[in-house]
Amino acid sequence: MFIDQVTITVQAGDGGNGCCSFRREKYVPLGGPDGGDGGKGGNVVLETDPNLSTLIDLRYQKVYQAEDGKSGRGQQMTGKSGKNLIVRIPPGTLVKDVNSGELLVDLHQPDQHFVSAEGGDGGRGNMRFKSSTQRAPKRFETGWPGEKRTLFLELKLLADVGIIGFPNAGKSTLISKISNARPKIADYPFTTLVPNLGVVRLEEGTSFVAADIPGIIEGAHEGKGLGHQFLKHIERTRLLLHLIDFSDPDQKSILDRYHKLQAELKNFSPELFQKPQILVATKADNPQSQKNFQDHFASLVELNPSVFFISSLTGEGIQEMLWKIKEGLVKGPSEEEQIIKMFRDGEA
């Protein structure tokens, strides 16, 4: 099950109490105070684990409480500090304070740590209050309470390439062809209900992570369909693959879908719309797709100079597309692509 939003409460440990004690040893008539300090309460630490890709482990446990510090003891013994509680989460998680709405941290690196709740300090024992005028203090402090917070965790997947398109454009079939991902594939809309991540390996030492996003429909930026819920997962990507199903007999609807999806990206996030894109016409093994591609090729190049015609069934055009993706990830958009993007944005 893919879970990308949870609300949890974190409670750090309370500090231990200080001790009020006096030395009572044979042959030490004026022993004086020797009460030790309390131990510090444990922290609640969020730690990113690269082996995790969902927040499902946090769905059922809502409260995370660290260990309290132990009280001080006589003979100037400090109490033991409470153990920190480590809560493991996937990289790409945003941590927000529910009460203030403040973004506390963006944990997007593997093995990154964040102290979400600070443990309370231990109270001072009575030996701390000894002075020239107060030789036998009975004063000591109780431990300080640990910090308590309610946090909203939101996961945004970390991927280099986002695969987008309308339902049944061939996104899941493509990611299963080029990577180790094995999503559910069927011939009906909205087969993909959750994002799928796959590692694409081109050659030894060369790889990138691709994310297959559930199909987007018109009005997705307003919450229609599944796309709005998952569009956020491609906000961190560096490049987008825009897949279009070219097997539709209605040629006019093919380019209409392109413009509709571009509008959804722009309405959802202008920054997302600005990302470099590669336009991919799918189902090259279909005779209708071949005819449509020939008829629309000139228009496609005007929309985006990076155009590929592929078949996930036969593998046609896929290798060339992958090398173009690698080039785009290394070099970024070319000058020609930047000019095209300016016209697409209406800036030129």
**Alpha-carbon distance 208 to 179, whole Å?**
10
Query: What's the confidence (pLDDT) of residue 186?
Result: 52
Q: What are phi and psi of 94, to 5 degrees?
A: -90, 135
Query: What's the confidence (pLDDT) of residue 157?
Result: 75
Query: What's the confidence (pLDDT) of residue 215?
Result: 61
**Alpha-carbon distance 310 to 152, whole Å?**
41
Asked whether the predicted pLDDT for residue 2 surpasses 70, the reply is: no
Give the confidence band of 348 by pLDDT, cuts at 50, 70, 90: very low
> Can you list the domains of the chain with their CATH numbers?
1-155 (2.70.210.12), 161-345 (3.40.50.300)
Mean pLDDT, all residues of the chain = 83
Query: pLDDT tens digits for 108-135?
Result: 888 999 999 999 999 999 999 998 888 8
What percentage of the chain has pLDDT greater than the value 90? 34
32's torsion region: left (phi>0), alpha (psi -120 to 50) or beta?
left
Query: What's the confidence (pLDDT) of residue 339?
Result: 44
The answer to whether 163 and 185 are in contact (CB under 8 A) is: no
Q: Which residue type is seen at 144?
A: W
Give the confidence band of 237 by pLDDT, cuts at 50, 70, 90: confident
Q: Tokens representing 318?
A: 């896929």
Give the CA-trace dihedral at 239, 240, 246, 247, to 10 degrees.
Answer: 120
**Alpha-carbon distance 47 to 44, whole Å?**
10
Give the CA-trace dihedral at 53, 57, 59, 61, to 10 degrees.
Answer: -150
Which of residues 293 and 188 earns the better pLDDT score?
A: 293
Query: What's the confidence (pLDDT) of residue 6?
Result: 92
Which of residues 212 and 203 earns the better pLDDT score?
A: 212
Closest to 39 in 3D by CA, of 125, 128, 113, 138: 125
Helix axis angle for 287-303 and 251-268, nearest 10°, is 50
**pLDDT, average across residues 67-94:** 93
Lookup result for tokens 């036998």: 136
Within 13 Å of residue 201, how many CA atoms lie on the same side as its CB? 5
Non-local (6+) Cβ contacts of 56 within 8 A are: 1, 2, 3
Asked whether the predicted pLDDT for residue 72 surpasses 90, the reply is: yes
Query: What's the confidence (pLDDT) of residue 147?
Result: 96
Q: What is the pTM of this model?
A: 0.69
Query: pLDDT tens digits for 151-188?
Result: 999 888 778 888 888 887 788 888 888 887 675 565 54
Query: What's the confidence (pLDDT) of residue 208?
Result: 84
The answer to whether 35 and 21 are in contact (CB under 8 A) is: yes
Q: Identify the sign of the CA torsion 106, 108, 109, 111.
A: positive
Non-local (6+) Cβ contacts of 72 within 8 A are: 16, 17, 18, 19, 35, 36, 37, 38, 39, 78, 79, 122, 123, 125, 140
Q: Tokens representing 246?
A: 């070219």
Query: What's the confidence (pLDDT) of residue 81?
Result: 95
**pLDDT, average across residues 258-285:** 87
Kindly list the strands in the beta sheet with 196-203, ordered across the sheet, starting from the edge strand earlier in the chain. Answer: 196-203, 206-212, 161-165, 239-245, 277-282, 307-309
Asked whether the predicted pLDDT for residue 35 surpasses 60, the reply is: yes
